[in-house]
């Protein structure tokens, strides 16, 4: 895979497996819609039983492959391998695996999001149009579980190995097949699953570290995002200059805490 610099025009190539595409998409992702914001005072932005945040003492790079809430070992291996190809570790900074994205995905799928609790999940189950949103009777958690199992079955049948044990080059080939809709699975639309996996990987890489991803604010540091700093007025008119301060999350900065 060719890795490109974060400088240059913000155009999207045909493949998402580059840092340039990550930065281009991340730069236009909405932070929140009007009316979705709230003032948070002396509390954290979640409710008990809803997409529970991971243990803040856990370090994904130290406990890789263990401590998951939703993923079984085979699913964890697949997700770790897949996100490592979607956002690879390179000279620009840590990749999705190093930034704890698998733990972000695990805890979201174990919570309200994974169950689709606030979604309309009844029939009819027609094919639907892309603009109509979620068009499957499976919740996100069920979709991940079925897709990973069937992808591993396909790679084992055709390449004699589960996805996580394939070479990096072969993993990328299979991901491209999913992205292009050229992989037929038994009960899951592989292209739809790839789209969801890519979206969730971006969310984990860019979200506040309190949710388990973006470890040490790696994603924010990559693009110079200040995070949850309360006052940026001193820097508004400093056009073309890099932001000189480290990012701050909802829990502050690592230097403010003993982890």
Per-residue pLDDT tens over the stretch 89-112: 999 899 999 999 999 999 999 999
Which of 211, 188, 3 shows the shortest CA–CA distance to 87?
3
Question: Under DSSP, is residue 189 helix (H, G, I), strand (E, B) or coil?
Answer: strand
> Under a CB-based contact definition with an 8 Å cutoff, are residues 71 and 79 in contact?
yes
**pLDDT the model gives residue 3:** 41
| Farthest CA pair distance, the chain | 59
| pLDDT, tens only, 195-241 | 999 999 999 999 999 898 999 999 999 988 999 888 889 988 999 88
Across 151-164, average pLDDT? 97
Contact indicator for 211, 107 with CB cutoff of 8 Å: yes
Give me the number of domains the chain comprises: 1
CB-based burial label for 206 (10 Å; 0-12, 13-18, 19+): buried
Residue 117 has a pLDDT of 87
96/100 Cα distance (integer angstroms) = 6
- List, for residues 12-68, the tens digit of each pLDDT value: 344 455 554 555 455 444 434 434 445 545 555 545 444 444 544 344 433 444 589
> Is 90 part of any domain?
yes
> Residue 76's CB: how many other CB atoms inside 10 A?
22
**14 part of a folded domain:** no
Whether 27 maps to a domain, the answer reads yes
User: Does residue 104 lie in a domain region?
Assistant: yes
Q: Which two tokens stand for residue 77?
A: 């291996």
Q: Is residue 210 part of a domain?
A: yes
pTM attached to this predicted model: 0.74
Q: Determine, yes or no, domain membership for 4.
A: no
Helix (H, G, I), strand (E, B) or coil at 227: strand
Instruction: Report if residue 200 sits inside a domain.
Output: yes
- pLDDT for 64-76, tens place per residue? 445 899 999 999 9
Is pLDDT at 121 greater than 90 in this prediction? no
Q: Is residue 12 part of a domain?
A: no
**Segment holding 76, helix H or strand E:** helix 73-86
155: containing domain: 19-124+132-256
């Amino acid at each position: 895979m060719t890795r490109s610099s974060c400088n240059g025009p913000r155009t999207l190539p045909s493949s998402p497996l580059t840092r340039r595409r990550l930065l281009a998409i991340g730069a236009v992702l909405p932070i929140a819609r009007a009316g979705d914001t709230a003032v948070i005072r002396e509390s954290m932005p979640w409710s008990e039983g809803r997409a529970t945040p991971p243990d803040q003492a856990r370090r994904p790079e130290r406990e890789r492959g263990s401590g998951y809430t939703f993923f079984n070992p085979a699913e964890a291996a697949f997700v770790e391998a897949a996100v490592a190809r979607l956002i690879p570790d390179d000279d620009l900074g840590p990749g999705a695996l190093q930034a704890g994205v698998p733990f972000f995905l695990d805890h979201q799928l174990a919570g309200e999001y994974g169950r689709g609790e606030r979604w309309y999940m009844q029939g009819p189950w027609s094919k639907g149009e892309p603009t109509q949103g979620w068009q499957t009777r499976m919740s996100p958690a069920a979709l991940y579980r079925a897709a990973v199992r069937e992808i591993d079955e396909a790679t084992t049948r055709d390449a004699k190995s589960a996805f996580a044990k394939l070479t990096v080059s072969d993993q990328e080939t299979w991901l491209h097949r999913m992205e292009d809709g050229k992989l037929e699975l038994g009960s899951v639309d592989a292209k739809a699953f790839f789209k969801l996996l890519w979206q969730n990987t971006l969310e984990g890489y860019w979200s506040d570290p309190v949710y388990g991803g973006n470890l040490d604010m790696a994603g924010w540091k990559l693009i110079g995002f200040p995070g949850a700093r309360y006052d940026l007025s001193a820097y508004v008119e400093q056009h073309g200059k890099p932001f000189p301060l480290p990012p701050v999350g909802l829990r502050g900065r690592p230097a403010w805490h003993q982890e």
